[in-house]
A = this chain, B = another copy of it.
């Protein structure tokens, strides 16, 4: 049921049944397979998306083909809302483009498209969504700030260490004992997310393993010395 999904989306969590009903009428569902493009940054902007199942990467490509992943979008998170709000006062422009590319990273990645025009109308009449939206944007700004800080002030090994620690914190919050994470993306993608290339990522993981902080087995990374890892990430 569409509205059950919508309820789990942070920005819609305060809506009542009537408002949800209105929303369900305007959303469009789409399903993608691994590697499918959801949109390119050259396409005209239709509206923003919600990931329902699977995983989506938001990324940019340089002229010579290097890729950088800005966000990884997991279920019930939104993406591509930014163009909706730039120049909000003015009439919605046909010329708006998506700010980056989006690709499904897993088979059966289901997303919902919320068309821009209709959603704008909904928003004008509802201040709750607006506050949620600001709050969501604030979190994303915080995330991007952190991302920039990592990219500019830390070397690759520190970034890898930091990534493992954050993933671990997300996975088991507040739990002690020997920790481990399982990557849900390829190491190629992880490299692109950490602002490097697969070869360098591989060497960094090896280095952390040689220093006996982690144990890498395919997509599983066991943390053997969490304090050391924290030290290595700063």
Instruction: State the A residues within 8 Å of B (CB).
Output: 60-63, 66, 68, 70, 81-89, 99-100, 123, 127, 130-135, 137-142, 144-145, 147-149, 151-154, 195, 234
Chain B residue with Cβ nearest A88: B135
A141 touches B82 (CB 8 A): yes
The 3 closest A-B pairs by CB, nearest first: A62-B153, A85-B138, A137-B137
Contact (A138, B60) CB under 8 Å given A144-B148, A148-B70, A148-B147 = no
Copies in the complex: 2
Q: Most chain-B CB neighbours within 10 Å: which of A83, A134, A137, A154?
A: A134
Q: Most chain-B CB neighbours within 10 Å: which of A62, A84, A149, A152?
A: A152
B135 touches A85 (CB 8 A): yes
Indicate which residue in B63, B89, B141, B234 contacts A144 across the interface (CB closer than 8 Å).
B141
Indicate which residue in B131, B140, B145, B147 contacts A99 across the interface (CB closer than 8 Å).
B145
The answer for the CA separation of A179 and B234 in the assembled complex, in Å, is: 43
